[in-house]
Amino acid sequence: MGFEKTIAAGPLRSFKYRLLERMRTLSKESRYAEFVMPVALLLVIDKDNGGDDTADEVLRRFFLVDAESCDVIDFYFAGWQLADTDSLKKRLVFDVDAFASVREALRNAGMGRFGGYADLVLLDAHYADGRVQLDFTRAIHVDLSEALKTKKIASVASFLEALIDAAHRLRDSAAADPELGETWWISDHLALAIAKKSIWQYILDKWGQVIGANKIDAVCVRRVGRSVDLASFGSGDAR
């Protein structure tokens, strides 16, 4: 059985554990002591706690995003867990306290703004000598509900599909790109991409080809917080 690419991250401690174990496994498999991996964090509220239609659509795409694994990015749904059930159909359950633990950690890392319904944060996780650094100094933060309302994106479905398509295009073209060929590595076991430096700009370039260059201003790499050691992420004094 393969590893899921869309992860119900649950509370903060679960997110930290899952990400650290993921990167340790990649380091062992690739034999790289240092690398960068792209991570997507989704902050989505359920309707019982005030979520809107955009948040609901993002949640309904949880399993589809996993099925269409882009082999490049892990998607973490903060505060959500898969329910234990005898049914063959998996069910997502929202834990408001678990979500709050992740939101508070992000606030302590300097990311004060949250749209309140459905936000997407794309960032780099740096691995070096057994430690992980979350880089919010060069990240992408999109308030999906606001972007949809202001028509910066046509739909959540097309936006996320375009991201996955862009990642596929990047993966497929990596072998032919001399620069990427020297920095790019994809795990056979986890089907995740790692590199010697951030690959977000490469993904953005491909993303622009999918959604149109005139729409790419909906996403940009900028500072949304500080660079934070994963071990101290959420401690309240992360620097």
User: Tens of pLDDT along 90-139?
Assistant: 778 899 999 999 999 999 999 988 888 999 999 999 999 899 999 999 99
**Taking the domains of the chain in order of start, what are their residue ranges?**
6-232
Q: Which helix (H) or strand (E) holds 25?
A: helix 12-30
- pLDDT by residue (tens digit) across 151-205? 888 888 888 888 888 888 887 777 677 666 666 777 776 767 888 888 888 888 8
CA distances from 48 to 42, 51, 58, 84, 117 (A): 18, 7, 15, 20, 12
Tokens of 196: 């010697």
CB 75, CB 195: distance < 8 Å = no
**DSSP code, position 238:** -
CA distances (Å), origin 211, targets 161, 173, 192, 205, 207: 10, 18, 24, 10, 6
For 94, the 3-state DSSP assignment is: strand
pLDDT at 36: 93
Q: What's the confidence (pLDDT) of residue 89?
A: 64
In this predicted model, what pLDDT tens digit does every residue of 7-63 receive, in sequence order?
877 789 999 999 999 999 999 988 989 999 999 999 999 999 988 999 999 988 887
pLDDT band at 239 (very low <50, low <70, confident <90, very high): very low
Overall pTM surpassing 0.95 (yes/no):
no
Cβ atoms < 10 Å from Cβ of 66: 16
* Residue type for position 64: L
Burial class (CB in 10 A: 0-12, 13-18, 19+), 98: buried
